[in-house]
Amino acid sequence: MTAPVATEAESSAPGYASRPPASARVERAMDNLPPSVDDDDDSGPTGALNGRPTLVSAEALPDYKRVITGVDADSVLRVSAAVRKEFVAVEIQPGIAIVATTARFSERAQFATFLKDLASHDLLVQEEMIATEEVIAAIYERKRDVAIKGGEREASRAIGNFRDIIEAAHAYGASDVHVEPRDFLSEVEVRFRVNGDLYTYRRLPKNMVRRALSAAYSDLVQKNTNSGNSFQPSAPQSAMIPLVLGRDTVNLRWQSASTVGGYDVGLRLLDGNFKNYSVLMPDQMGLSPSQLALIETLNHVSGGITVLTGETGSGKTTLLRALSYMLPDRELKKQFAVSEPSEYPLPWLSEISIIRRPDESDDEASRKYAEVIRTLMRMDPDDVTISEVRDRVVMGLVSELAMTGHPVRFSLHAGDIISAVMRMAGGRLQLPIDELAAEGFINAVGNQKLVPTLCNDCKLPAEEVMPQRDLELLRSKFGLDTSKMACRNHAGCPTCRLDGLFARDGKVAGGTMRPTLVAELYRPTEEFRERIATRDWRGARAVWRSERTTGFDNEDMTGKTVYEHALFKASRGEIDPQFINRSMQSFAQYRVMPGADGKL
């Protein structure tokens, strides 16, 4: 079965309708002008200068969405006050513009430069027109509610198409929406991430998708969260878009970037209900009793850092949020959070959201981030949660907070807990080793991953599905009973099958349910800190791993890795062992280290 595509009937429906070419609409607008104009008058509707038609009034301009030139900093194309008198550009539909200029200004080199600037903002100029300064001034002065009546109708259709996609994603329980336009394809593939996997939802007309994305970015973004005032496919952009979907409120985290031969837009669906918010607690995420016991100790620390690592979409922000929420007597505390940008409702604390502009350098972003943290340090915080630490300056400020009695939680990009400690000691973070190895500085460090769970109604016995060599490795190398293991049934069943979503090979989505968290979590011991002090990373790993006292089929995760937590869940039939072998590390390559008894 192949993924669904827009039919001819769909393409002609109102949601897919495209406007006629700009030139045709200009001609129709000019046909309605009074004919009493002297042929020698350059302002006449049929007159032309250097092949350009003449615009005699602002009202003769086709319906447009907005004026995109102006003297203020928010304008798509910023011009001086002098240029504003002689040049104006309007967006008649997303990505399509008309410019009007005086005959004098059209001969200047600056005019050609402005046309190139519009192109760099992914705006195609379909018509260049000659107008007087009075007409240009009238265009700037026209009220938005009059100027965009036609544009509003089109924007409404475009936003409706955007909402349709998001509503479908929400109904499927998707965590992300991926929109992937390509220059060499006439249709755009829209994919949903559900239970950790990406599935094709629709292939839609490219123009319809572009209009939907442009309208959403221009009209739906939350104030002060967008990097740029209009959608620019050629530049990295981020924003937050709140949407009410039935009884639910969803926050979309928009991130877009240019790609070879097109661009990608990624939309993360987040809980946006600030009034009736719910917090997913650690015991609901899939953590083991030993890990929950360690987390409980973090409620009774004065200072120090808690560091979570993991790939994008591994639940780090969700767990950091829960750690902040479960703090005892939080109503008596002053809690702060710094996010880039804000993702989840955190109404029990004061959250500062940082927005990065598309043209902002890493150094500029770092300075802004650091200044926010310096500011909150002067605001009497009890504890602080930071979305991510990326550089030495911020790491130094985090250390200062932690060593002066303020617990700090943050995420870090690293492959495991040892890599996280190594990264803090070197690279771009360069925390002094004596601080890193100090008693009470590292409260806990963890690494985590989200893994799809199996559908209990259709999962298949592993011994009937997996190759014998893999089953033998699970038995001999890890000491697991494979008779209790299960594998995914890709055909799915009525319980799990997601009709309407397809893998790229045409198979219907099915066989998995809500992801579960697998993690490694460690609270450093004195011996571990001694290894840190001498930068003995192998020794530190050996100390941590030697604390394991149970087999891989036991729920005690002391001294165990995220991989071994996944093995435990596979031994109980909760997740597919083939996922571990394929997406984490092969059974053959994984290194089993001795436990407390010296045995593998």
The yes-or-no verdict on residue 133 having pLDDT over 90 is yes
Q: Please indicate, yes or no, if residue 48 is contained in any of the structural domains.
A: no
Q: Residue 419: CB partners within 8 Å, gap ≥ 6?
A: 309
Q: Residue 204: CB partners within 8 Å, gap ≥ 6?
A: 6, 187, 188, 190
Q: Please indicate, yes or no, if residue 239 is contained in any of the structural domains.
A: yes
Q: Please indicate, yes or no, if residue 13 is contained in any of the structural domains.
A: no
Q: Residue 405: CB partners within 8 Å, gap ≥ 6?
A: 302, 303
**Residue 424: domain span:** 277-448+519-547
Q: Give the other-Cβ count within 10 Å of 13's Cβ.
A: 12
DSSP states along 63-129: P-SEE-EESSTTSSEE--HHHHTTEEEEEEETTEEEEEE-HHHHTSHHHHHHHHHHHHTT-EEEEEE
The two structure tokens encoding residue 259: 């790609």
For residues 493 and 590, membership in a common domain is answered with: yes
Kindly give the residue spans of alpha helices, DSSP state H, lying in 477-571: 526-533, 537-545, 562-571
The yes-or-no verdict on residue 123 having pLDDT over 90 is no
Q: Which residue has the higher pLDDT, 274 or 242?
A: 242
Res 166: pLDDT: 96
For residues 139 and 160, membership in a common domain is answered with: no
Res 585: pLDDT: 96
For residues 415 and 328, membership in a common domain is answered with: yes
Q: Please indicate, yes or no, if residue 8 is contained in any of the structural domains.
A: no
Res 154: pLDDT: 65
Res 16: pLDDT: 30
Distance CA 555, CA 568 (A): 7
The yes-or-no verdict on residue 46 having pLDDT over 50 is no
Asked if residues 368 and 341 have their Cβ atoms less than 8 Å apart, the reply is: no
The enclosing H or E element of 162 equals: helix 149-172
Q: Sorting pLDDT into bands at 50, 70 and 90, what band is 32?
A: very low
Which residue from 455, 424, 415 is spatially nearest to 563, judged by alpha carbons? 415
The two structure tokens encoding residue 58: 């602002």
Among 252, 271, 290, identify where a domain stops.
271
The yes-or-no verdict on residue 541 having pLDDT over 80 is yes
Which residue from 135, 124, 56, 45 is spatially nearest to 91, judged by alpha carbons? 124
Among 130, 149, 168, identify where a domain stops.
149
Identify the CATH number of the domain in which residue 391 sits.
3.40.50.300
Q: Please indicate, yes or no, if residue 119 is contained in any of the structural domains.
A: yes
Q: Please indicate, yes or no, if residue 142 is contained in any of the structural domains.
A: yes
For residues 361 and 495, membership in a common domain is answered with: no
443-502 pLDDT tens trace? 999 999 999 999 999 999 999 999 999 999 999 999 999 999 999 999 999 999 999 999
Res 345: pLDDT: 73
For residues 266 and 288, membership in a common domain is answered with: no
Where residue 228 falls (left for φ over 0; alpha for ψ -120 to 50; beta otherwise) is: left
Angle made by CA atoms 515, 266, 233, in degrees to the nearest 5? 170
The yes-or-no verdict on residue 41 having pLDDT over 70 is no
Among 217, 246, 271, identify where a domain stops.
271
Q: Which CA distances in Å does 25 have to 30, 63, 115, 142?
A: 9, 9, 21, 19
The yes-or-no verdict on residue 27 having pLDDT over 60 is no
Of 88-97, 203-212, 252-261, the one with minimum mean pLDDT is 88-97
403-426 burial code (b ≥16 CB/10 A, e <16): beebbbbbbbebebbbbbbbbbbe
Distance CA 95, CA 580 (A): 45
Q: Sorting pLDDT into bands at 50, 70 and 90, what band is 555?
A: very high
**Residue in this structure with the two tokens 């009238």, named with its chain if needed:** 138
275-328 pLDDT tens trace? 777 889 999 999 999 999 999 999 999 999 999 999 988 999 999 999 999 998
For residues 163 and 295, membership in a common domain is answered with: no
The yes-or-no verdict on residue 359 having pLDDT over 90 is no
Distance CA 519, CA 542 (A): 18
Domain total for the chain? 4
Distance CA 154, CA 19 (A): 9
For residues 341 and 441, membership in a common domain is answered with: yes
Q: Please indicate, yes or no, if residue 92 is contained in any of the structural domains.
A: yes
Q: Sorting pLDDT into bands at 50, 70 and 90, what band is 39?
A: very low
Distance CA 326, CA 408 (A): 14
Res 599: pLDDT: 64
The identity of residue 325, as a single letter, is Y
The two structure tokens encoding residue 253: 């985290």
Asked if residues 310 and 420 have their Cβ atoms less than 8 Å apart, the reply is: no
The yes-or-no verdict on residue 549 having pLDDT over 50 is yes
Res 50: pLDDT: 62
Q: Sorting pLDDT into bands at 50, 70 and 90, what band is 525?
A: very high
Which residue from 110, 117, 106, 120 is spatially nearest to 50, judged by alpha carbons? 106
Identify the CATH number of the domain in which residue 226 sits.
3.30.450.90
Mean pLDDT in the chain? 86
Task: Calculate mean pLDDT across residues 48-53.
Answer: 70
401-418 pLDDT tens trace? 999 999 999 999 999 999
The identity of residue 186, as a single letter, is S
Distance CA 273, CA 249 (A): 5
200-252 pLDDT tens trace? 999 999 999 999 999 999 889 887 778 777 898 988 898 889 898 877 889 99
Asked if residues 488 and 583 have their Cβ atoms less than 8 Å apart, the reply is: no
For residues 327 and 420, membership in a common domain is answered with: yes
Q: Please indicate, yes or no, if residue 43 is contained in any of the structural domains.
A: no
432, β-bridge pairs? none
Task: Calculate mean pLDDT across residues 248-268.
Answer: 93
Res 33: pLDDT: 34
* CA contacts within 13 A on the Cβ side of 552: 26
For residues 381 and 530, membership in a common domain is answered with: yes
Distance CA 451, CA 31 (A): 63
For residues 304 and 423, membership in a common domain is answered with: yes
Going along 216-349, which residue ranges are E strands? 237-245, 248-259, 262-271, 305-310, 335-339
For residues 173 and 240, membership in a common domain is answered with: yes
For residues 139 and 80, membership in a common domain is answered with: yes
Q: Report pTM.
A: 0.74
The enclosing H or E element of 154 equals: helix 149-172
Cα–chain center distance at 127:
36
